[in-house]
């Protein structure tokens, strides 16, 4: 080993020396001595690898302690300020709870509840007694079921319908243009296989006709699966078959709606409309355009909902009390006609662009006062729904652009703040889109930028 590398390795401080440094003591006080010590060891290991690779990093006790602090700061769930302009940002947790939903979840978490207890009779009740009546009233469905996520709901629906078919090779027909993949590698063909169904593809990627389904139907056909391509758009020379036409074939129609819009948002299909078109089951998410907690919601025929409840998978996929409490509160906002005021998701999507410009202007003025030396201006921006919804839907917005410094360095420092601030680096500037800022976030952003500037 070269002499320079050996000298640098010898100069690496001991763990105890780092922990005795004022920065090390602050680290231990903030995170606990055991996690802090582990982070210091991990940091030293990284520095050793850098030195062996030919780099010459700074290796003082303070530098190591500060690097370990940054390492710990990036771990664990913590609050993030979303300045990306993506409303349902999958990596940042998608929907933000309404105040009503957050309080409902808090009450359910910090005390006992009537989750499975009938207060009138004093006997055992069902966890489905809470959100289900609201879903029936809002969608017009005969019955409903809530499980832990939309993928689970799709799996359970397919498994229950397939199990009802007395066939050794039950088939489910789906258009090739609807064999989608969503985030996390969730693929419709794989879910079909797990359900016990045999996938039967019809049509082509861009054009599928009703006659394609008719030719594919046989004695083994269990159901027709219709999937809304919520995270991409197919344009040009295209043709597809709607739910209403599929019902004419006399087979159960399972519609995976995906985003779960109960009100008009862009061109997203509304759950109520899918049921009116005759779908036996409509499946959608609770944490996308519905604006509530992560959940898989199924509404439709009482025959098939009952079959799903009886299926062994229902127990494995059931929703917990926090999810059900938050969902019930979210649905009540729709029922009371206050969804657009209560739910942050709908507010962010529908707030006027003039209000966005005003908020961006005020934020820019605050940044100029508190972080002198930066180049700050206001510019029109385009926000997105995100979360695998409305792929072509553009939401006019405004952003504050911050220049006069390395945008990547500034972005990294803001991500290390508490709470973290996440924006977008574009055109050699850091863009902070105000459409996804919650009330009070501007003050946090200004403080984080001021601290990042020292």
Cβ(117)–Cβ(124) below 8 Å: yes
Residue among 448, 288, 260 nearest 384 (CA) = 288
Q: Roughly how many angstroms between the first and final C-alpha of the chain, as a whole number?
A: 39
Q: Is 278 exposed, middle or buried (0-12, 13-18, 19+ CB in 10 A)?
A: middle
Which pLDDT score, from 0 to 100, does residue 178 have? 83
Residue 222 pLDDT grade (very low, low, confident, very high; cuts 50, 70, 90): very high
Of the CA atoms within 13 Å of residue 343, those in its CB half-sphere come to 33
Range with the poorest average pLDDT among 14-18, 133-137, 385-389, 442-446: 385-389
Whether the CB-CB separation of 345 and 389 falls below 8 Å is answered with no
Token code pair at residue 377: 């201006």
Q: For residue 329, how many other CB atoms are within 10 A of its CB?
A: 25
How far apart are alpha carbons 166 and 396 in whole angstroms? 53
Please give the order of strands across the beta sheet that includes 296-300. 143-147, 296-300, 281-285, 253-258, 221-227, 171-175, 198-202
- Look at residue 169 in the predicted model and tell me its pLDDT: 83
For residues 61, 66, 70, 76, the Cα torsion angle rounded to the nearest 10 degrees is 70
DSSP per-residue codes, 90-129: GGGTSSPPPHHHHHHHHHHHHS---TTEETTTTEE--GGG
Which CATH class for the 99-342 domain? alpha beta
Q: How would you classify the pairing of strands 80-82 and 420-422?
A: parallel
- pLDDT band for 293, please (50, 70, 90 cuts): very high
Burial class (CB in 10 A: 0-12, 13-18, 19+), 381: buried
Question: Where are the alpha helices (H) located in 376-426, listed in sequence order?
Answer: 407-415
The residue-averaged pLDDT of 176-201 equals: 79
Report how far residue 368's alpha carbon sits from residue 386's, in angstroms, rounded to the nearest whole number: 31
Global pTM reads: 0.84
Q: Where in the chain is the domain with CATH 3.40.640.10?
A: 99-342
Q: What is the pLDDT of residues 31-67, one digit of tens each?
A: 888 888 999 999 999 899 988 888 888 889 999 998 8
Residue 335 has pLDDT above 70, yes or no: yes
Burial (0-12, 13-18, 19+ Cβ within 10 Å), 416: middle
Considering the chain, tell me which residue range(s) the CATH 3.90.1150.110 domain(s) occupy: 80-94+347-452
The whole-number average pLDDT for the span 15-38 is 89
The answer to whether 40 and 381 have CB atoms below 8 angstroms apart is no
| Least confident piece of the model among 115-124, 165-174, 342-351 | 165-174
- Mean pLDDT, residues 220-227 taken together: 93
Our CA angle for 26, 29, 34, nearest 5°, is 110
When pLDDT is averaged across residues 290-303 and rounded to a whole number, the result is 96
CA dihedral 329, 335, 338, 339 (to 10 degrees): 70
Judged by average pLDDT, the poorest of 94-103, 225-234, 389-398 is: 225-234
Task: Give, for 366, the enclosing helix (H) or strand (E).
Answer: helix 353-370
Residue 6 has pLDDT above 70, yes or no: yes
Q: What is the tens place of the pLDDT at every residue in 336-376?
A: 999 999 999 999 999 999 999 999 999 999 999 999 989 99
Q: Span 288-298, mean pLDDT?
A: 95
What average pLDDT is seen over the chain?
A: 91
pLDDT of residue 231: 66
Task: List % helix, strand, coil for the chain (3-state, nearest 5).
Answer: 45, 20, 30
Domain 80-94+347-452 has CATH 3.40.718.10: no
| pLDDT of 55 | 86
Work out the percent of the chain whose per-residue pLDDT is above 90: 68
Q: What per-residue confidence (pLDDT) applies to 185?
A: 62
Distance in angstroms (rounded) separating the CA atoms of residues 282 and 272? 9
List the structure tokens of 109.
């978490």
**Over the stretch 125-144, which tens digit does the pLDDT of each residue have?**
999 889 999 999 999 999 99
Give the pLDDT confidence score for residue 417 in this predicted structure.
85
Please state, in angstroms and as integers, the Cα–Cα distance from residue 61 to each residue in 57, 207, 333, 380, following that order.
Answer: 12, 65, 54, 45
The residue-averaged pLDDT of 210-222 equals: 93
Q: What is the pLDDT, as a whole number, of residue 283? A: 96
Indicate whether 232 pLDDT > 60. yes
């Amino acid at each position: 080993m070269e002499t320079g590398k050996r000298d640098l390795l010898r100069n690496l401080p001991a763990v105890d020396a780092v922990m005795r440094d004022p920065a090390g003591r602050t680290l231990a006080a903030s995170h606990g001595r055991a996690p802090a010590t582990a982070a210091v060891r991990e940091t030293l290991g990284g520095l050793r690898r850098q030195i062996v690779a030919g780099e010459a990093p700074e290796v003082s006790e303070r530098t190591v302690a500060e690097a370990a602090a940054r390492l710990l700061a990036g771990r664990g769930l913590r609050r993030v300020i979303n300045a990306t302009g993506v409303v349902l940002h999958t990596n940042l947790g998608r929907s933000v709870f309404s105040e009503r939903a957050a309080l409902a979840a808090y009450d359910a978490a910090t005390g006992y509840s009537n989750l499975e207890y009938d207060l009138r009779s004093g006997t055992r009740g069902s966890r489905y007694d809470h959100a289900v009546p609201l879903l029936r009233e809002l969608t017009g469905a005969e019955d409903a079921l809530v499980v832990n996520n939309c993928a689970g709901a799709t799996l359970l629906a397919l498994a229950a319908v397939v199990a009802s078919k007395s066939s050794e090779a039950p088939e489910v027909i789906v258009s090739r243009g609807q064999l989608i993949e969503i985030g996390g590698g969730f693929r419709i063909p794989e879910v079909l296989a797990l359900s016990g169904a045999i996938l039967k593809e019809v049509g082509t990627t861009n054009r599928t006709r009703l006659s394609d389904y008719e030719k594919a139907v046989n004695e083994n056909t269990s159901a027709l699966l219709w999937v809304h391509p919520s995270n991409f758009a197919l344009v040009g020379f295209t043709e597809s078959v709607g739910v209403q036409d599929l019902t004419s074939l006399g087979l159960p129609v399972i519609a995976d709606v995906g985003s779960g819009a109960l009100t008009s948002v862009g061109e997203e299909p509304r759950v109520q409309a899918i049921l009116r078109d005759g779908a036996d089951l409509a499946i959608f998410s609770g944490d996308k355009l519905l604006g509530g907690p992560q959940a898989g919601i199924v509404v439709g025929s009482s025959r098939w909902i009952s079959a799903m409840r009886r299926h062994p998978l229902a127990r494995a996929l059931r929703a917990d009390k926090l999810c059900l409490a938050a969902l019930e509160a979210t649905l009540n906002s729709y029922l009371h006609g206050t969804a657009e005021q209560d739910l942050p998701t709908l507010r962010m999507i529908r707030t006027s662009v003039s209000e966005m410009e005003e908020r961006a202007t005020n934020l820019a003025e605050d940044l100029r006062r508190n972080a002198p030396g930066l180049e700050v201006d206001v510019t029109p921006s385009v926000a997105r729904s995100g979360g695998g919804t409305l792929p072509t839907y553009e939401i006019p917005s405004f952003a504050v652009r911050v220049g006069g410094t390395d945008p990547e360095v500034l972005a990294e420092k803001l991500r290390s703040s508490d709470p973290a601030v996440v924006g977008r680096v574009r055109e050699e500037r850091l863009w902070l889109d105000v459409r996804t800022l919650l009330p009070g976030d501007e003050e946090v952003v200004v403080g984080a930028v001021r601290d990042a500037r020292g």
